[in-house]
Structure 1
Amino acid sequence: MLITAALLAGCSDTPPPEAPAVASAAAALEIDDPWQVIDAFEVGRDVYVRALALEPGADRLWVGTSLGVNEVDLTDQSLRNTFTRADGLANEYVFSIFVDSGGYTWMGTNGGGASRYKDEQWQVFFPMHGLADYWVYSFAQQDDGTVWIGTWAGANEWDPDSGEFKTYYDELVNEWVYGIGVDSKQRVWFGTEGGVSMFDGENWQAWTHRDGLGAANQDNLPISLNTGLGTRSRHDLNVMADGQPTYNPDYVFCIHVDKQDGVWAGTWGGGVSRFDGEQWRNYSVDDGLAGALVYSIAEADNGDMWFGTNKGLSRFDGEHWFNYGREDGLLSEHVYSIALISPDEVWVGTRGGVTRFGRAVAQQEAGKAE
């Protein structure tokens, strides 16, 4: 495995050792798994990679970290640029990145508002401009160009023609919004700290654990008290209590709408749930998921689902689960972000850096070409 230079200059410390948490599913199932780590890019032992976004048609990957944003050239995996507040970024701690249909890159920060970038031009959005809050955690876009923004004080609907923001707060099942997805009917789905909400343009609906969201607490884990009802200082995303993982199945870290309009929700301790329009189907560690806390979700062109958890990376092909941990080359077991670069390449963000996965056959062919 090749370990390349750090993406952020001056931050190349190796992350501290962590106990391996995920066994190789290929070995357990005695079936071939073509995926393996190709290389890794370190960003510093205490630096978090919370967001990854591929810019379509540009061979460019945006990497959002707790120290700024990196622009990576995918043709040779080199670093093109690093952006901080000195360059126009609203705040260095970036939690979400999204490239819209117009080629603008949106960056949501932890307490610094949102930034939009294109062709070396920056625009910053604060509450004084109509943004709901300074804490920005997700973006999505409808076919008409409308951009939706998830914050800790509700969701924004941004009109690309007028540049005006509309805020939804009371309509949501919970105002602390972490994930947003749009389905083929242009309905907007929101993952919050209190469940999932959906807006069809006129009406709102909501689902919680009582409706089937999130797997049962089979291990009797402590209930998480970090519910969003206190102050922002309580929102440190600490998932442990007295050395144990905690449980709050209504707390949704991420949302993804798949090609069949199934809605996937990554929960805190309840695994990942899929809503088919009528009922929720939960997938837990007992089913093969690496960890019960699901931070990120991505879907491959072939229908494979990828999940970033607190115990490593999972891939689900609809029948089998394949899990990847530190023993497979991950820099850390907590996987916060996933970017599908091609059918043969996946990048994942963790504490300490980014790990690049590829199909073994694709790697062998690349070696022959060299």
Structure 2
Amino acid sequence: MKKITAFCLLLVAMSGGFSQTFTAYTSDDGLVDNWVNGVAVDSDNVKWFATQSGVSSFDGTTWTTYTTADGLVYNDAKCIAIDNDQNIWVGTDFGACKFNGTTWTTYSSADGLVNDGVTYIAVNQDGKIWFATYGGLSILDGTTWTNYTTLDGMSSDLINFIAFAPSDLTYIGTFGDGFMTFDGSSFVAYNTDNGLIDNAVTSIVFEGSNVWVSTLYGVSRFTDEPSWAQNYIATDGLYYAMVRDMLVDDFGHIWFAIYADYILEGGLTKYNGTDWITYTQDQGVTGVIMKRLAKDINGNIWVATGDGVTEINLSVNAPLLSDHDNLTFFPNPSNDVVNFSFAGNITGISVSDISGNIVATLSGTDKNLDITGFAPGLYFINYIENNTPKSQKLVVY
């Protein structure tokens, strides 16, 4: 049955208190199967789960299940995604299925898919559906299929992850040959020869100017390919090196889903830029096998595991005053008006998002900033003090 566990901690590095509640959902609550391979969230904040026995959806109250009896091509769903028209896409070993809310439609190699073994599905801003398979990459644009394999320059046909960077590059992870970037015409491969910690890539996320690549033997971070900034393993703060998925939350923290093996149980690790914090069953995480992560409309995190689903409700309390002497602002985190106080020679005050885009500016006489129109996430207060550029973090929730 549903189990709720509260866990509170103070994140000093982000200058605010965060209260986190872990809620577990299993087959006792309505999930079709506890072995959950993937999770996605639609525009109505309905959560969709790919399991080994079919697909379940949860609108916050009601669970609904879909299986082969409803038109799904195969019950063992490997992955799940939602396109720009809110169609549900499910990958299986027998092709991909699309659910339009009424009927299921199957797409296989006979229809243009490069291989029937679909391991991951992603949708870009243009609405194109990208399929990672055991036999290459497929892109569906309306009714037109475009396929890529090693014959087209890919480093491997065994691919299992796709991510779209802000730079318009597409990152493609492989099972054992590192990852590739794709600019629409050519592929560039990166692997351990370039400094990647391991060639079995499981996920890729973007945080500011950083690209994080998770593998089955740790995580690599780089800022300017192919110059690797840092590799991380268990001794650096990860709970365990076998990372299955990653997610950047609305506060700019990075979450790592740690898979289990025969020796060690899995869990979740969060990195806030300074500290590594681990959550396991003791804190309320469901089970010991973490698989995939997704973020809902409210910024809460959903964890697909081998023992059900965990919802991590992220809320903010006890906002604290910024601890810089000459430029202070509060509350932080905030979702309303931020109040500023200046002392000394402060000039050039601006606010930028994690991509470096300037979203607001302040003069030396401005004492408050209305952020009600800001999207939730991590921002930076940039300014010059005595001819020295400085920056502080602001969290909008």
TM-score, normalization: structure 1? Answer: 0.74
Cα deviation 1:130-165 (Å, max 9, x = unaligned): 1122211112233332221100111112122x3324
Classify the secondary structure of the residue corresponding to 2:256.
strand
Kindly report which structure 2 residues correspond to 1:1-370, keeping only aligned pairs within 5 A, or say none.
2-3=2-3, 34-43=18-27, 47-56=34-43, 58-74=44-60, 76=61, 78-79=62-63, 81-109=64-92, 111-160=93-142, 162-170=143-151, 171-193=153-175, 194-214=177-197, 249-256=198-205, 258-260=206-208, 262-269=210-217, 271-278=218-225, 279-280=227-228, 281-310=230-259, 311-342=266-297, 345-359=300-314
Classify the secondary structure of the residue corresponding to 1:181.
strand
Classify the secondary structure of the residue corresponding to 1:94.
coil
What letter is aligned with 1:347?
W
CA drift of 1:70 comes to: 0.4
Q: Distance in 1 between matches of 2:9 and 2:23?
A: 20
In structure 2, the gaps of 5 or more residues are 260-265, 318-397
Query: Which residue in the other structure is 1:9 paired with?
Result: none
CA drift of 1:43 comes to: 2.9
Q: Distance in 2 between matches of 1:344 and 1:202?
A: 35
CA drift of 1:177 comes to: 0.7
Classify the secondary structure of the residue corresponding to 2:144.
coil
Classify the secondary structure of the residue corresponding to 2:110.
helix
Q: Distance in 2 between matches of 1:100 and 1:277?
A: 30
Classify the secondary structure of the residue corresponding to 1:286.
helix
Q: Distance in 1 between matches of 2:2 and 2:315?
A: 15
What letter is aligned with 2:211?
V
**Judging changes above 3 Å, is the alpha-carbon distance between structure 1 residues 208 and 296 closer, same or farther for their aligned structure 2 residues?**
same
CA drift of 1:33 comes to: 6.9
Query: Which residue in the other structure is 2:329 paired with?
Result: none
TM-score, normalization: structure 2? Answer: 0.69
Higher strand share: 2
Larger radius of gyration: 2
Q: Distance in 2 between matches of 1:275 and 1:51?
A: 26
Cα deviation 1:189-246 (Å, max 9, x = unaligned): 10002111111112210110121111xxxxxxxxxxxxxxxxxxxxxxxxxxxxxxxx
**Judging changes above 3 Å, is the alpha-carbon distance between structure 1 residues 286 and 26 closer, same or farther for their aligned structure 2 residues?**
farther
CA drift of 1:72 comes to: 0.6
| Conserved? CA contact 1:314–1:321, under 8 Å | yes
What letter is aligned with 2:241?
A
Query: Which residue in the other structure is 1:225 paired with?
Result: none
Q: Percent identity?
A: 27
Q: Distance in 2 between matches of 1:52 and 1:330?
A: 16
CA RMSD after TM alignment: 2.8
CA drift of 1:2 comes to: 4.6
Q: Distance in 2 between matches of 1:344 and 1:182?
A: 20
Cα deviation 1:7-29 (Å, max 9, x = unaligned): xxxxxxxxxxxxxxxxx9969x9
Q: Distance in 2 between matches of 1:302 and 1:332?
A: 25
Aligned residues: 301
Classify the secondary structure of the residue corresponding to 2:199.
strand
CA drift of 1:112 comes to: 1.8
* Structure of greater relative contact order (alpha carbons < 8 Å, 6+ residues apart): 1
Q: Distance in 2 between matches of 1:2 and 1:145?
A: 35
Q: Distance in 2 between matches of 1:292 and 1:25?
A: 25
Cα deviation 1:269-299 (Å, max 9, x = unaligned): 2x12223232223222122112211111111
**Judging changes above 3 Å, is the alpha-carbon distance between structure 1 residues 301 and 360 closer, same or farther for their aligned structure 2 residues?**
closer
Higher helix share: 1
Q: Distance in 2 between matches of 1:264 and 1:187?
A: 14
CA drift of 1:35 comes to: 4.6
What letter is aligned with 1:149?
F
CA drift of 1:121 comes to: 2.2
Classify the secondary structure of the residue corresponding to 2:235.
helix
| Conserved? CA contact 1:112–1:135, under 8 Å | yes
What letter is aligned with 2:208?
Q
